[in-house]
Structure 1
Amino acid sequence: MERLHRFIQNKGDNEIPREAMTVLDLILASRPNALFTAINKKTGSSFYKAYNPQFNISGGLNLHQGWKQSVKITYKEVLLNLDVACTAFYRPGPLLDVVAGFFNRGRIQDINPRQLAPGTVEFQRLSKFLSNVNVEITYRDSGRRKYKIRALSKQTPDKAMIVITDTKTKMTVADYFLKEFKIRIQYPFLPLVMCGNDGQILLPMELLIVKEGQRHLGKLSDVQTADVIKIAAVAPPERQGRIMEGRKSLHDAPGGDSLMKAWGVNLQPQMKQIEGRILPQPVVTGSAEVRPQNGAYDLSKVGNVKFFRPAKLEFWSVAVFGDTRNMQFDAVAEFLGRLFTECMNRGMYVSKRDFKDVIVAQQRRGVEETLLEANRKAIEASQKVLPPGSKMPACAQMIFCIFDKGGVTYDEIKLFSETKHNLMTQCFLSKHLPPKGPKPGVTTNLALKVNAKLGGVNMVVDPATQLNVLGAPVPTMVMGADVTHPPAGANGGVSIASLVASMDAKFAEYRAAIRVQGPRIEIIQDLKSMAAEHLNQFQLRARGRYPDRLIFFRDGVSEGQFGEVALQEVQNLKIALREVGAGHCKLTFLVVNKRHAHRFFVADQKDGDRKGNLMAGTVIDTGITHPFEFDFFLNSHQGLQGTSRAAHYHVLYDENKFSSDDLQEITYRMCYLFARASRSVGIVPAVYYAHLVAYRARCYRPGGVGGSSEMGGSSTGGIDSAAIDEFEKVTDEMLKTMFFT
């Protein structure tokens, strides 16, 4: 532990003492491991309470609640970072009940046998869902009783034939269990389960029990995610109480923890108190100045404030996908009328059209054909009203796309419009149509997106008066980068790297670059060429000048990867700057992380917002930060649901030599520039846009990121070159816009 003491006191040892931290992790996890279902991860350990049917969620899963902990080092102290945890587990009990739950049915009898026919989508989904689940047989008490499911068999008990070893005779699985165990199979239409190392052991579902404490590793559906949020998103006082309960449950042993005593480890009973400060909120400017309150401003309540730079919408049409009985013509026209009124109230120009001329129903067309027809209608309708000889564009400025929730319509719209036909689209769901919709704020939010996509600027924070050091007349670019990976449990697949960069002096307009690379490779492999693309775009916009300052925000990097990322990506950025002729540009490189377990609570409720969260603009840069490196936590947004999580910013490289106050203020005030919201957001917009771009890129491979199977790839888990090649590229014209907003 001597190295640990030297490190936290900054006495010459710059390498994090991983061995000492691992020992502390093991000591602090010893007692909880014996009492709870434990899941150990690289970043710490999680401990979950026993199964509770109260927390059943859709799809045959159950949400286990518990706590996660890890050791954290700060200046002159070692801290235990403890937070609540929620994770999806398979429901224990009869496998038949789990299968029924997967289809959201109460009993196995309620499932349509056709859903489980081999080759159906439901069969494949269920087989993937049950893969690697540990089960126990119920038909005998001796011999081997525990098995692991490999997949579902395409055979059923009444059809699958097996050979009896002793007599060499053949019989069906159903007949075998009747003869050997006097068990008549009740559900012969259900597929058999393949178990064993090679999947050669075939077992009927009804004779298996799912063991308790098995975590589900696959991606949760939208419905399941919503179920989790309902249970897990709790107000700060309740979350604080649960953390304190975890402190007692995990570490308060009668007479003290003997292992902790033996190692001289003493854990304080109360949370650590640290100091924070609230940064002043900026003034946001459109056609007039707006002063946010706790990180938010409601455009509908601030008078007739127009966008800073409203766009013009002259050539447009509407495509209705799916069953038009749910999307009646009059409802579509009424909704668009409200949307266009909101756009015009914000200063935009929207050309008038007869809706009968511009609304196109999909009918029997495919998605691509419908988009092309909508584009043709947009040009045709414009020709009717514009003077003869007017210059007509090759494609519409915007096609509004309406569809029901679910399916792959959205993915196909974005694939065809952005990679093949250079069509800007704005999608929204039919649930927003009258008479049930739209809810307050829907048309305002859509107007924000439409204006940004068309090249407008919604609101700005004036650099000269609001962004402190960035107000100086020095050409500055802000970049944001992210890498998204296949979900846990997926073999192979691809990772998607995205890089966005600001193009204007007000940091409101961004451009995107996308690359597809091998699975779970965190380093952006083609960062040099991606950065060069943006630098050259900047030069064209800035009349031949390259930026003198580059602020680079990098998301998705764990603390253990800081050294590798800083070494490779900073070097590649510096090379890109030199190669384009901007070697003079000074670089500041920060890692941004919101996927951490740090939670902050106000010591006095009167210092928080009405829900008990930290106020927007709260910054913490002492007491819990790195012993000697430059990092800080910034709660830049107003908490809307549950307990807010501050973003963690860690400066890995800084040639601009920003002071901590300057960099914190710059970062916070930029959070008001996110084009899709009339409030500050939780992370700097450059990173938020990088998230959106990476997520959008999932649409650019026909069939989705996984092609024919969701997020799948090479079965070996290696780089799938064929999968990478299948991704379509965004058109050059589209890359000159903020198509991702």
Structure 2
Amino acid sequence: MRGQEGKKITVACNYIRLKLEPEKGVFEYEVTYEPPIESRSICFSLLNEHKDTIGATKTFDGRTLYLPFKLPQPNTHLQSKLPNDQSSVLITLKFIKRKQLGETIHLFNVLFRRIMNILGLALMGRHFFDPNSAMPVPAHKLEVWPGYITAVDEYEGGLMLCCDASHRVLRTQTVYNLMEDIMSMSPRNWKEEFMKLVVGQTVLTRYNSKTYRVDDVIFTSSPMSTFDFKNGTQITYYEYYLKHYNIQITDRNQPLIVSRRKGKVGGKEVSDLVCLVPELCFMTGLTDNLRNDMKVMKDIATCTRISPMQRKHALNQFIKNVNSNENARLILDSWGLVLEDGIVNLQGRLLDPEDIYFGDKKLVKGSVMAEWSRALTSSSVLSAIELVNWMIVCLRRDEKAIVDFVQTLRKCGPQMGIGINPPRILPIPDDSAENYVKTIRNNTDQSTQLVVIVFPSARNDKYSAVKKLCCSELGVASQVIQTRTIRQLDKLRSIAQKIALQINCKLGGTLWTVKIPMKNTMVCGIDTYHDPTGRGSSIAALVASLNQPLTRWFSQICKQVSGRELMEGLTTALLSCLTKYHKVNGYFPEQILMFRDGVGDGQLSVCQEYECPQFLSCCNLITQNYKPNFLMVVVQKRIKTRIFMQKGSEGEGNPMPGSIVDHSVTRRDWYDFFLVSQNVRQGTVSPTHYIVVHNSTNMTPDQVQRVSYKLTHLYYNWPGTVRVPAPCQYAHKLAYLVGESTHKEACEKLCDKLYYL
């Protein structure tokens, strides 16, 4: 299903066509042995004796054989002899079928993994990187390895390889260096500190370009410890590395680190322990301290944030490397595959810009950049809530900076139509979480509209404490600010404007809207937060519109606790949203548009066959005859698709906001499209993938695409378009706040406000 609206544009995508020679394919055979043979290795060796019949190219698992061509006879009989007693064995190859392209995707992906190894790329995690093209970042003891992410699949336009340039950040610090640092800082308990820092981390051994997860540290072993070699002899780790890699270990008394490798042998899960020498293992990834260092992240970005032109050049270089490498080309040729010489060019469409509506009936014409920050700060907001009774809790030493901030805030507010009265400033002697909580609790009553908390530094424990108190216990809007933010005098006006707008939203005010032609429609967004440690429950958030301009939103959360399905909580949340919609409007919506974030490809069928019917059935609980039209769209952000646009003599650039691709590189079995909604000035923009899993409305593809784009304009934390529809982004913010900080539902009186911004 394709849309028609918008200006036609020519774009390129990071997909490379794979052509299959007409007479070639993947042919499936059942292999039987008479008499039957249990040993897989003997099965393999006997079949390998007949390369003159079946060829050298095959995939065989002991019973099922795949060949790139069809044998002349439906049943092929081969004779072999067992190696131990020379008795005869009859091997029968029975033709089953020619596999469809969609059934052979795994095989083709395996072929490209072999090609990556041939090209000298190192596997790290699931993707391949080039150690020979490492880019050093010496100031921070880091280096960046460029690489590729590849995936073969069948799309509307045929069989294609999706290929994207990627990067992996590595540290030039070894595990041994880290151990020395810890020993100097904590000589008494260095072993415990060392264990905390390395267990669970991934390390790289550069002598073979492999990565390992650290599971333990053995302080009683050393490079002089011995292990059983393949031929049954005992050898020390020191001797092993000297003999096989010509590496001489300098410290023979260092402990060994252990990695548990898992795999399958004969269909059974097996695991073995690998002992590694800290001196030869390099740390990978970034520590929290490095991630929080703006200078570090900026220096890394110079290597990783590549332009569309650089990205396209990297893809063309990859194609050239594959097609010019004899061994790589031989792998493709043997299965009848040909990799085209360039990436896919196709026709997209550019939707017209959206006009923005502010207060006092002011209209700002839509711009191609999809950004309206200047108009926002010089216009009245759509609806303003006067800030009358509010307070600021801060350290006594920060009072002067607070006074300057309040003065600036009270000047900026009225220019945007927001009245702001002076606050109560409540200084505390020190920044313990106890002091903040006690001061807020003792000074808040039913008339308090807002609590502003100013922290001297970012601390998750204090943030969680005050957010849990304000949102879940007191039911009052809260705003957390860091002292360094309001000490930037040159940026204070801009900062005060943003905070004033955010506060207005948290109190129930609205900032802007776009033209929404739909009536009697409730738009919902769903996103899920998963505890990264795996110990906590999953938090799902559902945010639903309450009015036709889509400026007011009602939110509900549900937890996935033991013995309870997350879906059960979401249907209950939807019922609450429908009840609230009826209370505000006096009727139930005639149609529901639901945008579901956080669903991977493997869950699409579950979403279609399980979630959609449950949402629809829960509507019957309101009245038996209530059957609204229902649209459910899965929104995917973490995708590898990239879209480039030719910009004259400048070469490839990012497509403009509103660019849509809905054919060729889309799925064969789903109605889906890619939408670029953001304006990105640096690096390459990432489109968002929209997949319609259910549609009982009368909306055409053009209308679904247009409303999806409109919704990216309505996120009030940014005066421009965002990557996903606003209700999804609101749901993300809410789920993250509850999952990371409050761990509880908010008070009911906050649920119709954007208190989580």
Q: TM-score range by the shorter chain?
A: 0.7 to 0.9
**Aligned equivalents of 1:259 and 1:136: distance in 2?**
27
Aligned partner of 1:542 among 585, 590, 611: 585
Partner residue, 1:405:
458
Paired residue type of 2:714 = L
SS in 1 for 2:578: helix
Q: Is 1:475 equivalent to 2:520 in the alignment?
A: yes
**Aligned equivalents of 1:148 and 1:616: distance in 2?**
41
Q: Is 1:113 equivalent to 2:190 in the alignment?
A: no
Partner residue, 1:717:
none
Partner residue, 2:345:
273
Aligned partner of 1:150 among 192, 197, 215: 215
Residue 527 (structure 1) shift: 1.7
Alignment of 1:467-506 (within 5 A): 467=517, 470=518, 474-487=519-532, 490=533, 492-506=535-549
Alignment of 1:666-705 (within 5 A): 666-700=707-741
**Aligned equivalents of 2:700 and 2:198: distance in 1?**
55
Aligned partner of 1:351 among 400, 411, 421: 421
Residue 429 (structure 1) shift: 2.1
Structure 1 residues 405-464: Cα deviation after superposition (integer angstroms, max 9, x where no partner): 35533232222221222231112222222355536743332222111111001001132x
Residue 255 (structure 1) shift: 7.8
Aligned partner of 1:428 among 464, 481, 486: 481
**Aligned equivalents of 1:303 and 1:365: distance in 2?**
33
Structure 1 residues 523-568: Cα deviation after superposition (integer angstroms, max 9, x where no partner): 645221121121111121112x111110011112122221012111
Aligned partner of 1:373 among 439, 445, 455: 439
**Aligned equivalents of 1:243 and 1:493: distance in 2?**
41
Q: Is 1:661 equivalent to 2:702 in the alignment?
A: yes
Partner residue, 1:22:
106
Bigger Cα displacement from structure 2, 220-229 vs 280-289: 220-229
Paired residue type of 1:732 = E
Residue 371 (structure 1) shift: 4.1
Q: Is 1:740 equivalent to 2:756 in the alignment?
A: yes
Paired residue type of 1:30 = R
SS in 2 for 1:273: strand
Partner residue, 1:462:
515
Paired residue type of 1:252 = S
Partner residue, 2:381:
307
TM (norm. structure 2) is 0.73
Alignment of 1:66-77 (within 5 A): 66-77=147-158
Q: Is 1:290 equivalent to 2:343 in the alignment?
A: no
Aligned residues: 621
**Aligned equivalents of 1:115 and 1:555: distance in 2?**
48
Residue 74 (structure 1) shift: 2.2
**Aligned equivalents of 2:111 and 2:399: distance in 1?**
66
Partner residue, 2:746:
730
**Aligned equivalents of 1:52 and 1:116: distance in 2?**
39
**Aligned equivalents of 2:212 and 2:680: distance in 1?**
46
Residue 28 (structure 1) shift: 2.5
Partner residue, 2:503:
450
Residue 85 (structure 1) shift: 1.2
SS in 2 for 1:81: strand
Residue 307 (structure 1) shift: 0.2
What is the RMSD computed on CA atoms of the aligned residues?
Answer: 4.1
Structure 1 residues 30-49: Cα deviation after superposition (integer angstroms, max 9, x where no partner): 211233445488xxx62101
Q: Is the 8 A contact 2:174 2:281 kept in 1?
A: no
SS in 1 for 2:571: helix
SS in 2 for 1:419: helix
Structure 1 residues 48-80: Cα deviation after superposition (integer angstroms, max 9, x where no partner): 011777445999765422010111322242111
Q: Is the 8 A contact 1:135 1:148 kept in 2?
A: no
**Aligned equivalents of 1:280 and 1:274: distance in 2?**
20
Q: Is 1:419 equivalent to 2:460 in the alignment?
A: no
Alignment of 1:527-538 (within 5 A): 527-538=570-581
Q: Is the 8 A contact 2:470 2:478 kept in 1?
A: yes
Paired residue type of 2:306 = V
**Aligned equivalents of 1:129 and 1:430: distance in 2?**
35
Q: Is 1:96 equivalent to 2:176 in the alignment?
A: yes
Aligned partner of 1:566 among 608, 614, 629: 608
Partner residue, 1:142:
none
SS in 2 for 1:313: coil
Paired residue type of 1:483 = T
Partner residue, 1:512:
555
Pick closer, same or farther for the CA change 1:525–1:87 going to 2, 3 Å: farther
Q: Is the 8 A contact 1:94 1:208 kept in 2?
A: yes
**Aligned equivalents of 2:540 and 2:632: distance in 1?**
17
Pick closer, same or farther for the CA change 1:640–1:533 going to 2, 3 Å: farther
SS in 2 for 1:266: strand
Q: Is the 8 A contact 2:370 2:721 kept in 1?
A: yes
Paired residue type of 2:590 = D
Partner residue, 1:588:
631
Q: Is the 8 A contact 2:598 2:635 kept in 1?
A: yes
Residue 664 (structure 1) shift: 1.0
Pick closer, same or farther for the CA change 1:64–1:372 going to 2, 3 Å: same
**Aligned equivalents of 1:699 and 1:404: distance in 2?**
18
Partner residue, 1:170:
none
**Aligned equivalents of 2:723 and 2:600: distance in 1?**
18
Residue 316 (structure 1) shift: 0.8
SS in 1 for 2:737: helix
**Aligned equivalents of 2:391 and 2:553: distance in 1?**
26
Q: Is 1:82 equivalent to 2:178 in the alignment?
A: no
Partner residue, 2:197:
126
The structure with the largest alpha-carbon Rg is 2
TM (norm. structure 1) is 0.74
Pick closer, same or farther for the CA change 1:265–1:435 going to 2, 3 Å: closer
**Aligned equivalents of 1:476 and 1:678: distance in 2?**
25
Q: Is the 8 A contact 1:494 1:517 kept in 2?
A: yes
Partner residue, 1:249:
321
Partner residue, 1:637:
678
**Aligned equivalents of 1:260 and 1:319: distance in 2?**
67
Aligned sequence identity (%): 18
Residue 293 (structure 1) shift: 2.0
Q: Is the 8 A contact 2:408 2:492 kept in 1?
A: no
Partner residue, 2:76:
none
Q: Is the 8 A contact 1:548 1:585 kept in 2?
A: yes
Pick closer, same or farther for the CA change 1:225–1:337 going to 2, 3 Å: same
Structure 1 residues 309-346: Cα deviation after superposition (integer angstroms, max 9, x where no partner): 0111111111226xx65xx3222211222223222211
Q: Is 1:551 equivalent to 2:593 in the alignment?
A: yes
Paired residue type of 2:426 = V
SS in 1 for 2:347: coil
Q: Is the 8 A contact 2:157 2:664 kept in 1?
A: no
SS in 2 for 1:642: coil
SS in 2 for 1:615: coil
Paired residue type of 1:307 = V
Pick closer, same or farther for the CA change 1:59–1:129 going to 2, 3 Å: farther
Partner residue, 2:411:
341
**Aligned equivalents of 2:627 and 2:650: distance in 1?**
45
Pick closer, same or farther for the CA change 1:197–1:398 going to 2, 3 Å: closer
Aligned partner of 1:604 among 644, 647, 650: 647
Paired residue type of 1:266 = V
Q: Is the 8 A contact 2:542 2:731 kept in 1?
A: yes
